[in-house]
């Protein structure tokens, strides 16, 4: 998260991702439209530009593709900005500045999982890798920002004609993937499940009141896999 605590408006010019263990080796650089496309507001919307107003906050989201065996132990971020260089009660002339901050430790050993569905024709929608509906949706919980859907994927089955839905979209039978078996992505222990919701129709209308995630049109199973929590939802549809 990037916050401008200075009365002078700030503008992000460039963000570089560095290997903290190898003399600051450059791994990835973001600037221009590429930088803007990875910036979000705290309201989970796209940033209109790379400017940050006084007391404003932006969230910088990114994905990195790294070769196996070449994963750094720690990342650093080099920020190049124009902003106020000294504390002030009123806006001043922006100054070009470069500084390195935001260390992030990486985990080399990751859990390997398989697909949650059998067969071919499944389309991974709203998943990796650009900011989207799931991955870029932030939620304030207990005083902190969380990205609970960062690894979420909407799996949809395509029929032989290349359609994801055929017929009335409010009818669950119109979706080729309806009724498919959802399988475990790895060995684990089921700790909770929900499978008693009405599947007669898809709820495509907007909600008129606030609701909890327990009240959605999803059935779900939660399991622990190698000390990590895996959450599988079957949307109807």
pLDDT bin (cut points 50, 70, 90) of residue 197 is: low
The CB density around residue 111, as the number of other CB atoms within 10 Å, is 13
Tokens of 150: 């960062």
Over residues 6-58, the pLDDT tens digits come to 999 999 999 999 999 887 899 999 999 999 999 999 888 899 999 999 999 99
High-pLDDT (> 90) share of the chain, %: 40
Kindly list the strands in the beta sheet with 228-235, ordered across the sheet, starting from the edge strand earlier in the chain: 189-194, 218-225, 228-235
3 pLDDT higher than 90: yes
232 pLDDT higher than 60: no
Query: ∠ CA 101-44-157 to the nearest 5 degrees?
Result: 115
Burial of 94 (0-12, 13-18, 19+ CB in 10 A): middle
pLDDT bin (cut points 50, 70, 90) of residue 146 is: confident
CB 17 within 8 A of CB 28: yes
How far, in Å, CA of 56 to CA of 5, rounded? 8
Entry pTM: 0.75
Q: How far is CA 113 from CA 128, 186, 187, 188, in A?
A: 15, 6, 9, 11
- Nearby residues of 76 by Cβ (< 8 Å), 6 or more positions away: 17, 18, 19, 20, 24, 100, 101, 102, 103, 104
pLDDT bin (cut points 50, 70, 90) of residue 71 is: confident
CB 79 within 8 A of CB 12: yes
**68 backbone φψ class: left, alpha, beta (φ>0; ψ -120 to 50):** beta
How far, in Å, CA of 190 to CA of 195, rounded? 14
CB 90 within 8 A of CB 70: no
Mean pLDDT of the chain: 82
């Amino acid at each position: 998260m990037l916050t401008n605590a200075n009365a002078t408006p700030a503008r992000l010019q460039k963000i570089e991702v560095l290997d903290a263990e190898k003399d600051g080796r450059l791994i990835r650089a973001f600037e221009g439209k590429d930088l803007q496309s990875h910036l979000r507001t705290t309201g989970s919307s796209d940033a209109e530009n790379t400017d940050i107003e006084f007391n404003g906050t932006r969230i910088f989201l990114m994905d990195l593709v790294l070769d196996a065996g070449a994963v750094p132990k720690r990342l650093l971020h080099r920020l190049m900005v124009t902003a106020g260089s000294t504390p002030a009660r009123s806006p001043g002339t922006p100054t070009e500045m470069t500084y390195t901050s935001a260390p992030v430790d990486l985990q080399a050993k990751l859990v390997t999982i398989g697909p949650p569905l059998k067969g071919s024709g499944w389309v991974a929608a709203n998943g990796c890798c650009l900011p989207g509906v799931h991955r870029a949706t932030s939620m304030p919980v207990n005083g902190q920002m969380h990205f609970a859907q960062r690894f979420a994927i909407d799996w949809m089955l395509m029929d032989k004609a290349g359609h994801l839905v055929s017929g009335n979209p409010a009818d669950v039978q119109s979706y080729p993937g309806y009724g498919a078996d959802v399988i475990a992505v790895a060995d684990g222990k089921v700790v909770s499940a929900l499978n008693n919701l009405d599947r007669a129709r898809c709820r495509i209308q907007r909600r008129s009141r606030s609701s909890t995630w327990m009240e959605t049109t999803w059935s779900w199973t939660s399991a622990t896999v190698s000390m990590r929590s895996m959450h599988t939802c079957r949307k109807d549809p």
